[in-house]
Amino acid sequence: MGKKRKKRRSIKNKLMAILAIVSLSAAGWLVVVNVFTVEEVKVEGSVYNPEEDIRDWLLNDEYCGNSLYVYLKYKFVEPEEMPFVDTAEVFLKPPHRLAIKVKEKDLMGRIYISATGQNAYFDGNGIVVEMSSDEKQGVPNIKGMDVDKIVLGKKLPIKGDSVLKHLLTLTDLLAKYEQVPGSVKYNKEGGFTLKYGKVSVQIGTALHLDEKVVRLSRILPLLDGKKGTLHLEGWTEHTTDITFEESG
């Protein structure tokens, strides 16, 4: 009889232990569900995509109302590709806040492909990093290039010796000095024309590009509200005249 009572007591203790574990697990689950709710999502680093699109991209399933779930999900799962986004990290500010830090691809320019109705966006190495019908602000439209078939992930197949090199040098300098134009047009003589609203800038060939862009950065703010053409194409170390030809 003593052995039976001990056995029943042992079973009872095990059941109580299991019940305690289940209860604690259930209580923990309730805490996770009810406490870690998403009340605020802050997006940093997104220029080419609206913040709302970034939120919708990452908070994309029925459980994403839980902040802890979202945080843990992207610790182990790579998000699907998003146009113009290189990487995205999710940080938890317990218990209700999520911070999303986005690193976007470097976009130096875009070339419109009329056959497909898309823009080929390229980086500082001339690699096509994105194909999209969108026209993103802050990315100059490159015109006048003689281009073969453009392929995503490949270097721009621009015809002509050094043309791509000069284009990349120019777009890099314009970005460096925060003078990114709406468009950059290349002509058959090897010269570049920049467009800033109603002001055209004749940069000319790739000679003295750095000096020309430095002077452009100083002069352009003075032309606000004006219409005409700024001539920098003839600038050299010995010929430093710069003229603005105003039009009505």
Instruction: Please tell me the number of Cα atoms within 13 Å of 185 on its side-chain side.
Output: 8
Residues paired with residue 245 on neighbouring β-strands, in sequence order: 229
| Buried-state track 113-143, b at ≥16 Cβ within 10 A, e below 16 | eeeeebbbbbbeebbbbbbeeeebeebbbbe
Is the separation of the CB atoms in 113 and 157 below 8 Å? no
pTM for the full model?
0.78
Give the pLDDT of residue 244: 95
Residue 78 DSSP code: P
Residues in CB range of 179: below 8 A, 6 or more apart: 213, 216, 217, 220
Give the pLDDT of residue 24: 44
Q: Which tokens sit at 119?
A: 């823009």
At 14-51, the pLDDT tens digits run: 545 555 454 445 444 445 455 678 889 999 999 999 99
State how far the Cα of 182 lies from the Cα of 140, in Å rounded to an integer.
Answer: 5
Give the largest Cα separation in the chain, rounded.
115
pLDDT (tens place) for every residue of the chain, 248 residues total: 555 555 445 544 554 555 545 444 544 444 545 567 888 999 999 999 999 999 999 999 988 888 888 888 999 889 999 999 999 999 998 888 999 999 999 999 999 999 899 999 999 999 999 999 999 989 999 999 988 889 999 999 998 879 999 999 999 999 999 999 999 999 988 999 999 999 999 999 999 999 999 999 999 999 999 999 999 999 988 888 899 999 86
State how far the Cα of 71 lies from the Cα of 55, in Å rounded to an integer.
Answer: 13
Give the pLDDT of residue 68: 86
State how far the Cα of 243 lies from the Cα of 113, in Å rounded to an integer.
Answer: 35
Q: How many CB atoms lie within 10 A of CB 167?
A: 22
The vertex-96 CA angle with 94 and 102, nearest 5°, equals 85
Residues in CB range of 183: below 8 A, 6 or more apart: 140, 141, 142, 143, 194, 195
Q: Which tokens sit at 182?
A: 């709406």
Phi, then psi, of 85 in degrees rounded to 5? -100, 130
Give the pLDDT of residue 107: 95
Is the separation of the CB atoms in 51 and 104 below 8 Å? no
The residue among 206, 201, 209 whose CA lies nearest residue 242 is: 201
Q: How many CB atoms lie within 10 A of CB 71?
A: 17
Residues paired with residue 131 on neighbouring β-strands, in sequence order: 120
Give the pLDDT of residue 89: 96
Give the pLDDT of residue 32: 47
Give the pLDDT of residue 16: 55
